[in-house]
Amino acid sequence: MAETNTLASIRKWIVEHKLRSVGCLWLSGIAGSIAYNWSQPNMKTSVKIIHARLHAQALTLAALAGAAVVEYYDHKSGIKADRCPNT
């Protein structure tokens, strides 16, 4: 039961802060990719940085697509209309 509450609160925060969550995902993606690429000894530093940027860019595009799907679902289901009524 507490797990459901935690997941619901996390989902609510992500819905309210879509771009901030995408930014956090990008930052963690680039940090993880740099950490992984630095463990590869046979690559030049410039190639490691380029690979990290490409991995983070792909992750960001996936996160933006996910945010767009959530926004579309909220708009279609009327959740957004309930949250932001027209005046």
Total-model pTM: 0.63
The token duo for 72 is 């579309």
Longest dimension (CA), the chain: 61
Burial class (CB in 10 A: 0-12, 13-18, 19+), 80: middle
Q: Which residue has the higher pLDDT, 68 or 78?
A: 68
pLDDT at 81 over 60: no
Per-residue pLDDT tens over the stretch 28-76: 888 888 888 888 888 898 988 898 889 888 988 888 888 788 778 777 8
